[in-house]
Amino acid sequence: MAADSRCIRTSSALSNPPLTLRDLDQLGLERIKGVGPKTLVALEAFEVRSILDLLETYPRRYVDRTNMAMIADLVEGVPALVVVTVESTSAFTTRNNKKMVKVAVSDGTKRLNITFFNQGWREKQLYKGLEVAVFGKPELFNGSLQMTNPLVDPVGKATGRIVPIYPQSEKVRISSSDLATWIEDALNKCAPRGFADTVPQSLLDEHGFISRSEAMRAIHLPESIEAHQNARRRLAFDEVLRVQLMLVGKKAQWERESAGFSHETSGHLIDGFMKALPFPLTGAQKRTIGEIYKDLSSGTPMHRLLQGDVGSGKTLVAVATMLASVQGGHQAAIMAPTEVLADQHALGIRALLASLTVSDDSNLFGDRTLRIELLTNKVTGEQRRNILAGIADGSVDIAIGTHALIQDSVNFKSLGVVVVDEQHRFGVEQRSRLRDKAQESEHGLVPDVLVMTATPIPRTAAMTVYGDLDVSVLDELPPGRTPISTSWVHAPIEIESMWADVRSRLDAGEQAYVVCPLIEESEKLEVASAQETFDQLSAQDLAGYTIGLLHGRMSSADKEAVMNSFRSGATQVLVATTVIEVGVDVPNATCMVVLDANRFGIAQLHQLRGRVGRGKLLSQCYLMTQNGEPSPRIEALVASTDGFVLAEEDLKLRGEGTIMSVNQKGQSDLTLASLQRDLELIQWARDAAVGIIQADPNLSDLPLLRDELDLLFSDTDEEFLFKS
Ligand code: ADP
Ligand code: MG
């Protein structure tokens, strides 16, 4: 057969070595029995272009015929699987205009009636003579058993005891049983050579993985549920190992190729700062600063993620990091995503560093106070020129700002540390751009980078989303925090008592936030609704109190004025859109009302709620919804204030798609693996990848594995990969 001759040609002199993924990628589908030109076009539309694509089209589920029942044995109320032949199908429209399809089926022991509501397409799908697997709960109706809206999988003439059900495409008319037939043919044709195992045997042995050849067959044609599980585990491991090798390889390459500062991490500036702190560091802060200082003192540039829940004290860690650079006569920068946050950092950091001095030879007294400047887009004219000049001549020690900091006009004399705050929306590429920018300093050394995020990410997801960074976790809140109590509010009487509570807090001198409904589709509508909320509260529930309004369409100056007035306590209530989401710190604010809370995600609500509970007073968060059922998200927030618990919950509720939507390479390679289910596999893969890359950075001893990575990751991914 032509197919086989080509296989042999690819293998050249070696006698039929096992097939690699690249071999499979180069094998065309025309060699599959029954696949003609028309089917090729249809498969192409299905994005199946090679034998590799075909074999990586995994079953969506399986029909386990070993668990099959006979219609004659069905018991009312007990769900069961029957494999049956369609005898007749008829469609009706009910009196209330619903589509109803009735199907009579039989398995030779008895007949069974099936009724579908609102699934008009079943009339065409279930034609006479078709063999299908039906899973559902039999009910007694007019004296005989029937099923309503059961699960139906066409099994065709499939014979195995466990029948794979593939994703089908109505549009291009490829059925599950077509795919099953072609895949089985492909597996049979590949069987003599088998599949190359690119993962080192020692790893396979260590974790008890089956061979790739076994796994490929068993994922499609499992002999038992257990065989399927072993196959999935093995193939999922291959997926996560490849992603980890890519990320760890990229990280190692970057570390190899760039020269960084070796900062001095003890000295008068850092010591003075620590001594002046009005409180002891938390254990987590001590540990984290230790991890960072270890990175800082090594000549390899730091590339570390600091994860810490809201209020865990990240700012202090950031300042301790920046001071190491300043102490050695270099500069530091901290970049925040919004102007409000940059302002906030400027205030907080100036307060923390107010009494510190740095040695200065040009000064008669040998000392000067630190020069800390804020650079955002609203800083203009003379003032801006002044700051830019100070950044360029090195007299600005710490620059605080927004994206304005990485514009072309900003040139640091010697930037030793960069802190990026709240960058959870950024991916690998943005981070590298920041590094490139910073590298333009006169000595060409790469600054140490600390990325801070207040969005806890489950550990496994972090290993993938931030797989190219080291991770430190601030998992301990400073003492003296009062827990925030959270309630779901819906009924009118609850709403009334909520406003009464807000008023009594205001009367006691405390402050409150009211967060307006999120309207993602339109900022204009969101602003209008915030204005409306403001007007309504001023006239009704909070009449007589000083209320401020903050939204995204205000000028920077107006925003700043509103925030300052709230910080000073002159404004008692801040009505705001999500612009207050991150970082705002007003300890006297003890109460938050979130309107239409169902519109927000878990992470967002958690961030918002973190604005209260920052002082000694007991705080309260109200989550208001329109409809009478709290969403699982709201229930999660009421139940827990632990960001990591909530992040796990979020992952469960939303699936990984959303987490991985961060601009991140490698996610498309995860087909069988799941960030949620495969925690253990991901940890193993991470450890294995670190070990492999350490011993053999270019994978020269594992050419097949390396070739697989080259094949599966795009050119842009490869830029980072194993360039020696
Ligand atoms: P984050 O940025 O992680 O949300 P912050 O850095 O804003 O948290 O810190 C929150 C509050 O906790 C600040 O008011 C800060 O002064 C205070 N804080 C930080 N570290 C400690 C500590 N070790 N002990 C007591 N309070 C602390
Ligand atoms: Mg912060």
Distance between Cα 583 and ligand 2 center (Å): 5
Cα 500-506-512 angle, rounded to 5 deg = 90
Q: To test the ligand 1 pocket, which listed residue (273, 307, 316, 453) has its Cβ within 8 A of the most ligand atoms?
A: 316
d(CA 165, CA 688): 33
Q: Considering only the C-alpha atoms of the chain, give the largest distance between any 2 of them, rounded to a whole number of Å.
A: 104
Residues 316, 314: Cα–Cα separation, whole Å: 5
> Ligand 1: which of 273, 274, 277, 279 to mutate, judged by most atoms within 8 Å of the beta carbon?
279
Query: In angstroms, what is the span from residue 644 Cα to ligand 1's centroid?
Result: 18
More confident residue, 106 or 2: 106
* Ligand 1 centroid to residue 165 C-alpha, Å: 53
pLDDT of amino acid 219: 95
Q: Which of the pair, 123 or 12, is modelled with greater confidence?
A: 123
* 3-class state of residue 238 by DSSP: helix
Provide the residue type at 219 as one letter: I
Atom of ligand 1 nearest to the CA of 421: 2
Among 328, 279, 321, 324, smallest CA distance to 304 is for 321
| pLDDT tier, 610 (very low <50, low <70, confident <90, very high otherwise) | confident
pLDDT in tens, 290-320: 999 999 999 888 989 898 887 789 999 999 9
DSSP assignment of 385-433 equals HHHHHHHHHT---EEEESGGGGSTT---S-EEEEEEES-TT--HHHHHH
Cα–Cα distance for residue pair 635/629, rounded to 1 Å: 10
Say which ligand is closest to the CA of 583: 2
pLDDT in tens, 17-68: 999 999 999 999 998 998 999 889 888 888 899 999 999 999 988 887 777 8
- Centre of ligand 2 to C-alpha 453, Å, is 8
The SS3 call for residue 555 is coil
Phi, psi angle pair for 614, to nearest 5° = -100, -5
Q: Are strands 573-576 and 511-515 parallel, antiparallel or unpaired?
A: parallel
Query: What pLDDT was estimated at residue 7?
Result: 45
pLDDT digits (tens, 9 = 90+) for 132-174: 888 889 999 888 889 999 888 877 666 667 888 888 766 667 8
What does the pLDDT read at residue 514?
96
Average pLDDT over residues 479-501: 90
Question: Which residue, among 234, 307, 343, has the nearest Cα to 580 in the 3D structure?
Answer: 343
Share of the chain above pLDDT 90, in %: 44
Tell whether the model's pLDDT for residue 720 goes beyond 70: no
Distance CA 514, CA 517 (A): 10
Nearest CA to ligand 1 atom 21: 478
Query: What kind and span of H or E run contains 202?
Result: helix 201-207
Q: Which domains does the chain have, with CATH numbers?
A: 1-62+170-196 (no CATH), 66-159 (2.40.50.140), 268-298+313-453 (3.40.50.300), 484-640 (3.40.50.300)
Rounded CA separation 100/118 (Å): 6
Distance (Å) from CA 561 to ligand 1 centroid: 24
pLDDT-derived band at 403 (thresholds 50, 70, 90) equals confident
Going by alpha carbons, the residue nearest to atom 9 of ligand 1 is 313
Chain mean pLDDT for the chain = 84
Give pLDDT, residue 10: 47
Q: Indicate the burial class of 270 (C-beta count within 10 angstroms; 0-12, 13-18, 19 or more).
A: buried
DSSP string, 635-703: HHHHH---HHHHHHHHHHHH-HHHHHTSS-TTGGG-SS--TTT-HHHHHHHHHHHHHHHHH-TT-TT-H
Counting from 1 in the atom list of ligand 1, the atom nearest the Cα of 282 is: 23
Single-letter amino acid code for the residue at 4:
D
Query: Among 282, 611, 616, 646, which Cα is nearest to 477's?
Result: 282
Phi, psi for 490 (deg, rounded to 5): -140, -50
Res 664: pLDDT: 35
Using the atom order of ligand 1, give the atom closest to the CA of residue 285. 23
Q: Which residues pair with 367 in a beta bridge?
A: 359
Task: For residues 319 and 303, give the distance between their C-alpha atoms in angstroms, rounded to a whole number.
Answer: 16
**How large is the angle between the packed helices 679-695 and 225-257, nearest 10 degrees?**
40
Q: What pLDDT score was predicted for residue 53? A: 92
| Residue range 673-695, pLDDT digits in tens | 877 678 789 889 999 999 999 99
CA of 320 to the centre of ligand 2 (A): 14
Pure H helices in 258-364: 268-276, 283-297, 314-327, 339-353
Structure tokens at 56: 């990586």
Q: Which atom of ligand 1 approaches the CA of 310 most closely?
A: 4
Q: Which residues line ligand 1 (CB under 6 A)?
A: 279, 281-282, 285, 308, 310-316, 454, 478, 585
In the beta sheet, which residues pair with residue 101? 91, 116
Question: What is the β-pairing status of strands 331-335 and 547-550?
Answer: unpaired
Q: How far is CA 287 from CA 242, 282, 302, 448, in A?
A: 31, 9, 16, 18
Mean local confidence (pLDDT), 316-340: 92
Nearest CA to ligand 1 atom 20: 313
Q: What value, to the nearest 5°, has the Cα angle with vertex 140 and ends 138 and 142?
A: 140
Contact 685, 244 (CB under 8 A): yes
Assign 15 a pLDDT band (cuts: 50, 70, 90). low
Q: How far is the CA of 353 from the centre of ligand 1 (A)?
A: 15
Question: What phi and psi values does residue 479 have, to the nearest 5 degrees?
Answer: -65, 165
CA of 473 to the centre of ligand 2 (A): 14
Q: How confident is the model at residue 655 (pLDDT cuts 50, 70, 90)?
A: low
